[in-house]
């Protein structure tokens, strides 16, 4: 089975472009399935089900969404293999911008929305920096010039990546996306695979459910900001 991690800010178009790519792949006899990691409930599962794309949604709830994702990644892979999928896509929106779900040896896609402003590519972090493919969405509603400027800013942050314009609405660009997904390396297992970026090194009292604010209630891995006055 091939595997692809698909990450990007909420509502950037991850689900939409996966659906478009799945349709192209289905036309070539390849079955794509999705495991979606999120921190809040969404209607993605219905969207996948309606399109006949096998999908499972995992909600991190009160847990750190990043840690929740890694703890379940190998199980997600095993599920995909049991389903007999050709390609497993792991969609994650719940992760914070500090983190990235991308794994060494697994195709890494980052989805960014061209409506989100020219400074967005520089703000997204390792999710974009460490991706192999960057899918720029919503180009169907912005000018050609803005699409080009946006793509250029993406390339400056991650010059290694293949940048594709994909519309989650019209499906334009889905052929190219399906092509790169289908060309992903075979992944024998995720057991023992390495993340491309570290997860947050947390474990403070708040990780364990503490809700009270203030020094008396803080334990573990705590870092304090420097509020000392800066000399003018």
Ligand X SMILES: Nc1nc2c(ncn2[C@@H]2O[C@H](COP(=O)(O)OP(=O)(O)O)[C@@H](O)[C@H]2O)c(=O)[nH]1
* Site residues (vs another protein, CB under 8 A): 27, 115, 117-118, 122, 125-126, 129, 136, 140-149, 151-153, 155-157, 159-160, 162-165, 170-176, 179-180, 183, 197-198, 201
Positive or negative torsion for Cα 5, 187, 161, 145: negative
C-alpha 119/C-alpha 17 separation (Å) is 23
Instruction: Please identify, using beta-carbon distances, which residue of 47 and 169 lies nearer to another protein.
Output: 169
C-alpha 73/C-alpha 27 separation (Å) is 28
Instruction: Please identify, using beta-carbon distances, which residue of 162 and 218 lies nearer to ligand X.
Output: 162
Instruction: Please identify, using beta-carbon distances, which residue of 44 and 132 lies nearer to Mg ion.
Output: 44
- 143 interacts with, out of ligand X, another protein, Zn ion, none, CB within 5 to 8 A per kind: another protein
> Does residue 20 interact with ligand X by CB under 6 A?
no
Contact between residue 222 and residue 201 where contact means Cβ atoms under 8 Å apart: no
Count residues binding ligand X (CB under 6 A).
16
Instruction: Please identify, using beta-carbon distances, which residue of 21 and 95 lies nearer to Zn ion.
Output: 95
Both tokens of residue 56?
Answer: 């499972």
> Does residue 217 interact with Zn ion by CB under 5 A?
no
Positive or negative torsion for Cα 59, 63, 67, 68: negative
Binds ligand X by CB under 6 A, chosen from 5, 16, 116, 187: 16
- Alpha carbon distance, N-terminus to C-terminus of the chain: 60
Q: Which residue's CB atom is positioned nearest to Mg ion?
A: 15
Contact between residue 97 and residue 119 where contact means Cβ atoms under 8 Å apart: no
Instruction: Please identify, using beta-carbon distances, which residue of 157 and 164 lies nearer to ligand X.
Output: 164
C-alpha 35/C-alpha 45 separation (Å) is 9
CA separation, residue 69 to residues 39, 91, 122, 155, 174 (Å): 10, 10, 24, 27, 27
- 16 interacts with, out of another protein, Zn ion, ligand X, none, CB within 5 to 8 A per kind: ligand X
- 162 interacts with, out of Zn ion, another protein, ligand X, none, CB within 5 to 8 A per kind: another protein
**Which of the 8 DSSP states describes residue 181?**
H
Give least dist CB 151 to Mg ion, A. Answer: 22
Q: Which one of the spans 27-35, 147-155, 165-173, 203-211 is the region binding ligand X (CB under 6 A)?
A: 165-173
Q: Which residue's CB atom is positioned nearest to ligand X?
A: 168
Site track for ligand X across 65-94, x = CB under 6 A: ----------------------------x-
91 contact partners, CB below 8 Å, separation of at least 6: 6, 7, 14, 15, 18, 34, 35, 36, 37, 44
Binds ligand X by CB under 6 A, chosen from 141, 202, 219, 222: 141
């Amino acid at each position: 089975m091939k595997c692809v991690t698909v990450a990007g800010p909420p509502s950037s178009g991850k689900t939409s472009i996966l659906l478009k790519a799945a349709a192209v792949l289905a036309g070539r006899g390849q079955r794509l399935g999705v495991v979606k990691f999120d921190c809040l409930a969404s209607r993605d599962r219905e969207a996948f089900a309606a399109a006949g794309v096998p999908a499972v949604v995992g909600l991190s709830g009160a847990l750190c969404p990043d840690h929740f994702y890694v703890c379940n990644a190998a199980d997600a892979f095993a599920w995909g293999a049991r389903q007999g999928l050709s390609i497993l896509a792991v969609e994650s929106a719940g992760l914070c911008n500090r983190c990235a779900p991308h794994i060494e040896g697994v195709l890494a896609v980052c989805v960014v929305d061209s409506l989100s402003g020219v400074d967005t590519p520089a703000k997204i972090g390792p999710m974009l920096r460490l991706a192999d493919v960057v899918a720029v969405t919503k180009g169907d509603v912005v000018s050609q010039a803005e699409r080009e400027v946006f793509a250029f800013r993406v390339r400056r942050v991650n010059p290694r990546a293949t940048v594709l314009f994909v519309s989650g609405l019209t499906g334009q660009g889905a052929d190219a996306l399906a092509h790169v997904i289908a060309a992903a390396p075979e992944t024998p297992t995720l057991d023992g695979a390495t993340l491309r970026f570290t997860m947050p090194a947390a474990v403070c009292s708040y990780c364990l459910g503490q809700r009270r604010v203030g020094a008396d209630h803080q334990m573990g891995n705590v870092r304090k900001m420097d509020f000392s006055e800066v000399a003018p």
